[in-house]
Structure 1
């Protein structure tokens, strides 16, 4: 039996959360088209007859670290490399970008066996175009393996997991075989609400929006969830609510349905939009809102 921690690391919007969900065979991390959707290190546990692989989905490492929230995201991603057994560095099939240089610096400092996963190869029509990228990658960093994959389509994930398995240490499982994560239910309730808001808001507001669960009350046949959606300005509050409450209503309905499927019970979901000026650039407020991995 092998057991070990595997950090999924890379720049924003490169597909780490999509890959984690595909590897686990079910949705754990929220996804959206917006960069920096993932804001916390999220543990996903996969147990087989041969191994227990403890995947860490991480925020995207990026250069724009001017605000406290951005600095927190970079720090959280970097901390995920401490003590892991393997790192999987994701880039996309279009090649390296400027933010990838920051990822390389953190990996060199961590000195952990690293597998390069060239993601989104389903979008590369001529696969021969990947050969120069693989050659460039080999010259950039001493990778333990280089695997072209598609997290969305599930391409070559068996090869990726085999490469991971080869570098895991022997040891007994650290978690029960049926456990999927170590995060509490209220954490994922907040994440699901935030995902649905991102979907309906598009390019408006998301960076200045966060969700806090004020109450999570469980009964045998009903879960009552009271959530506050924090924004930074009154104008953002009006956008999140929408004309005649349309945006908030649609996002709430979609979130409630997913929560009911996830929890296996009826859900009463109460959403309230409030203003907390400058929360994303205030380290004290960030900790109060749960940004303290």
Structure 2
């Protein structure tokens, strides 16, 4: 391939929940555009991470984890919204990365592979978290087993967290996208606004600090986002479904809410390169996660 050729294209990043898709995208982009926690269903929105290299540009489509569809009687509106976002990621992309956990392949991984294969996309298998594999000699037999009978453009064992194996991965994925100029400016890292990212920074801290107590009962709405010179004045509303959940988020004497706000503010200041004045409030809206109108109001597609 001519080294002066520039390639650019959209690449879906797909996998079952909690395999490190967002960590991988952040590592390739070189900045935190997608929130990360150890709880499944952390990612709720379709988000673009823009990774620019000398040889080309990858527009990485981060999605909620792809789930098997449930019957409407059991699937919440939130669950259906996340599945629509994951499936929508396959529209208009040039290639896909299927992210799996090293040493593991189950029905959910196969479901994601079949969705990609059925869409006719070239699929790169990204075997993440190889650094956590206790028996390193098991890696090659595992790779042979998962590739048998499946059509992968290439296979890459990586550690997204430690940024190992990403250079070779980016090179192989770039080879699958069209020859064309960059689709975004060199300094652009996502298609989402600072307002959206601010809400995600608060929600990340909710997932990290309250994931066991309130795994999916919270969302965040940015009510105010004002640029005041080099200061951003941000007002964030944390929505919960019950009064008892509100008490958990606020914590004794407001301590938990202060911790969430302080950590979110630090992440915002690093990402935005500006001082942030953040105010947070907690409000109750019963059943918001199973209310299509409420989800639209909170920015879900």
User: Which secondary structure does the structure 1 equivalent of 2:148 belong to?
Assistant: helix
Where does residue 17 of structure 2 map in the other structure?
Answer: 12
Of residues 13-22 and 139-148 in structure 1, the stretch that sits farther from structure 2 once superposed is: 139-148
Of residues 128-137 and 165-174 in structure 1, the stretch that sits farther from structure 2 once superposed is: 128-137
Where does residue 253 of structure 2 map in the other structure?
Answer: 244
Question: What is the alpha-carbon distance in structure 2 between the residues aligned to residue 93 and residue 48 of structure 1?
Answer: 27
CA shift digits 1:19-59 (9 cap, x unpaired): 11111122111100111101111111122232011111111
Question: What is the alpha-carbon distance in structure 1 between the residues aligned to residue 111 and residue 24 of structure 2?
Answer: 21
Question: What is the alpha-carbon distance in structure 1 between the residues aligned to residue 69 and residue 242 of structure 2?
Answer: 22
- Note the residue ranges of structure 2 that are not aligned, 5 or more in a row: 1-5
| Contact 1:197/1:248 (<8 A) preserved | no
Question: What is the alpha-carbon distance in structure 2 between the residues aligned to residue 196 and residue 267 of structure 1?
Answer: 16
Q: CA deviation at 1:136?
A: 2.1
Alignment equivalent of 2:95, drawn from 73, 86, 102: 86
Where does residue 58 of structure 2 map in the other structure?
Answer: 53
Q: CA deviation at 1:190?
A: 0.2
CA shift digits 1:184-227 (9 cap, x unpaired): 00000000011112222130113010000011011103211111
Q: CA deviation at 1:90?
A: 0.6
Using the size of structure 1 for normalisation, the TM-score is: 0.96
Task: State the Cα RMSD in Å.
Answer: 1.4
Q: CA deviation at 1:64?
A: 7.2
Q: CA deviation at 1:109?
A: 2.4
Question: What is the alpha-carbon distance in structure 1 between the residues aligned to residue 241 and residue 146 of structure 2?
Answer: 41
- Note the residue ranges of structure 1 that are not aligned, 5 or more in a row: none
Aligned structure 1 segments of 4 or more residues deviating by more than 2 angstroms: 62-65, 125-128, 260-266
User: Which secondary structure does the structure 1 equivalent of 2:216 belong to?
Assistant: helix
Where does residue 3 of structure 2 map in the other structure?
Answer: none
| Contact 1:217/1:224 (<8 A) preserved | yes
Where does residue 121 of structure 2 map in the other structure?
Answer: 112
Of residues 143-152 and 256-265 in structure 1, the stretch that sits farther from structure 2 once superposed is: 256-265
| Contact 2:7/2:175 (<8 A) preserved | no
User: Which secondary structure does the structure 1 equivalent of 2:19 belong to?
Assistant: coil
Question: What is the alpha-carbon distance in structure 1 between the residues aligned to residue 143 and residue 176 of structure 2?
Answer: 21
User: Which secondary structure does the structure 2 equivalent of 1:239 belong to?
Assistant: helix
- Map residues 273-292 of structure 1 onto 2, 5 A cutoff: 273-292=282-301
| Contact 1:18/1:31 (<8 A) preserved | yes
Q: CA deviation at 1:174?
A: 1.4
Q: Aligned pairs, how many?
A: 292
Q: CA deviation at 1:140?
A: 4.2
User: Which secondary structure does the structure 2 equivalent of 1:217 belong to?
Assistant: strand
Question: What is the alpha-carbon distance in structure 2 between the residues aligned to residue 79 and residue 258 of structure 1?
Answer: 29
The answer to whether structure 1 residue 211 and structure 2 residue 216 are counterparts is no
